[in-house]
């Protein structure tokens, strides 16, 4: 799976960019906020969420890990797909999303095109207390990294989150490597 892409921007369209990395052009879907920050012929580095479906492999790119983490948390919610997650993150930063979730401000999330009242309430309900790491750019959350690694191995976001949460309390789960090992043991037992 692709975890990060770095290269020259070849094409910019609203919500998508084409990055030339090592002579291969990768079409990456991104938020409008991220897209607006790029200039023509810029060098770009994006954290990638790879989505493998029956009919396609789709890449979603984000300039920082907190935005990637917020995206992965959003798509882990029933009824919230990549398009809605991108729309939410196009309208607000990960820090603003975390603030809206923690204060229960679902009308703010509901202002996102394509997000109705029930979806906004579900986002607030399911993400409350799960976005503490968002907004701390540069700091790494081992639990988030472990969930991301398990998702890249083919587990669903929900399975991976449950296994990592169960593994966190084990004494053998020290550091990222230990957390992933213990989560994998939980998933395979």
Q: Are residues 10 and 50 in the same domain?
A: yes
Give the pLDDT score at 139.
46
Q: Which of 40-44, 52-56, 95-99, 145-149 has the lowest mean pLDDT?
A: 40-44
E strands, 14-166, are 16-21, 24-30, 43-52, 57-62
Within a domain: 137: no
Q: How does DSSP classify residue 156?
A: -
Identify the domain boundary among 36, 62, 88.
Answer: 62
Q: Confirm if 114 and 79 have CB atoms less than 8 A apart.
A: no
24/156: higher pLDDT: 24
Token pair in block for residue 22: 């090592």
- Domain of 112, CATH number, reads 1.10.150.20
Within a domain: 136: no
Q: Are residues 9 and 50 in the same domain?
A: yes
Give the pLDDT score at 140.
54
Give the pLDDT score at 39.
65
Confidence band, pLDDT 50/70/90 cuts, at residue 132: low
| Helix H or strand E encompassing 8 | strand 4-13
Q: Confirm if 159 and 187 have CB atoms less than 8 A apart.
A: yes
By residue range, what is the domain housing residue 182? 142-188
Token pair in block for residue 175: 């550091």
| Of 78, 71, 96, 90, residue with least CA distance to 33 | 90
Within a domain: 135: no
Distance of CA 22 to the CA centre of its chain: 24
40/165: higher pLDDT: 165
Three-state DSSP at 189 gives coil
pLDDT at 59 over 90: yes
pLDDT at 25 over 80: yes
157/103: higher pLDDT: 103
Q: Confirm if 64 and 7 have CB atoms less than 8 A apart.
A: no
Confidence band, pLDDT 50/70/90 cuts, at residue 189: confident
- Domain of 165, CATH number, reads 1.10.8
Digit-coded pLDDT (tens) for 139-170:
456 777 788 788 888 888 778 888 888 888 88
Give the pLDDT score at 111.
92
């Amino acid at each position: 799976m692709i975890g990060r892409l770095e290269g020259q921007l070849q094409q910019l369209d609203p919500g998508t960019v084409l990055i030339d990395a090592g002579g291969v052009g990768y079409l990456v879907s991104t938020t409008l906020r991220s897209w607006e920050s790029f200039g023509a012929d810029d060098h770009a580095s994006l954290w990638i969420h790879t989505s493998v479906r029956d009919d396609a492999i789709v890449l979603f790119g984000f300039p920082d890990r907190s935005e990637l983490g917020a995206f992965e948390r959003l798509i882990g919610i029933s009824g919230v797909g990549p398009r809605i997650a991108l729309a939410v993150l196009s309208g607000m930063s990960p820090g603003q999303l975390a603030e809206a979730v923690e204060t229960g401000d679902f009308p703010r999330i509901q202002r996102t095109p394509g997000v109705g009242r029930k979806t906004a309430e579900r986002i607030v309900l399911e993400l409350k207390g799960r976005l503490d790491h968002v907004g701390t750019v540069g700091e790494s959350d081992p639990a988030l990294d472990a969930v991301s690694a398990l998702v890249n191995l083919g587990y669903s976001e929900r399975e991976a989150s449950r296994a990592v949460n169960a593994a966190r309390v084990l004494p053998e789960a020290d550091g990222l490597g230990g957390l992933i090992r213990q989560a994998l043991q939980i998933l395979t037992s």
